[in-house]
Amino acid sequence: DAKTTQPPSMDCAEGRAANLPCNHSTISGNEYVYWYRQIHSQGPQYIIHGLKNNETNEMASLIITEDRKSSTLILPHATLRDTAVYYCIVRVAGLPSGSARQLTFGSGTQLTVLP
Partner 1 sequence: EAGVTQFPSHSVIEKGQTVTLRCDPISGHDNLYWYRRVMGKEIKFLLHFVKESKQDESGMPNNRFLAERTGGTYSTLKVQPAELEDSGVYFCASSLFRGGTDTQYFGPGTRLTVL
Out of 14, 49, 55, 110, the only residue in the binding site for partner 1 (CB under 8 A) is: 49
Q: Determine the Cα–Cα distance for residues 82 and 17; give it in Å rounded to an integer.
A: 11
- The answer to whether 53 contacts partner 1 (rule: CB under 8 A) is no
Q: 39: number of CA atoms within 13 Å, CB side? A: 9
- The answer to whether 28 contacts partner 1 (rule: CB under 8 A) is no
- The answer to whether 59 contacts partner 1 (rule: CB under 8 A) is no
Which residues from 75-94 bind partner 1, rule CB under 8 A? 91, 93-94
- The answer to whether 105 contacts partner 1 (rule: CB under 8 A) is yes
CA distances from 64 to 8, 21, 24, 44, 56 (A): 20, 10, 10, 22, 11
Out of 8, 29, 43, 96, the only residue in the binding site for partner 1 (CB under 8 A) is: 43
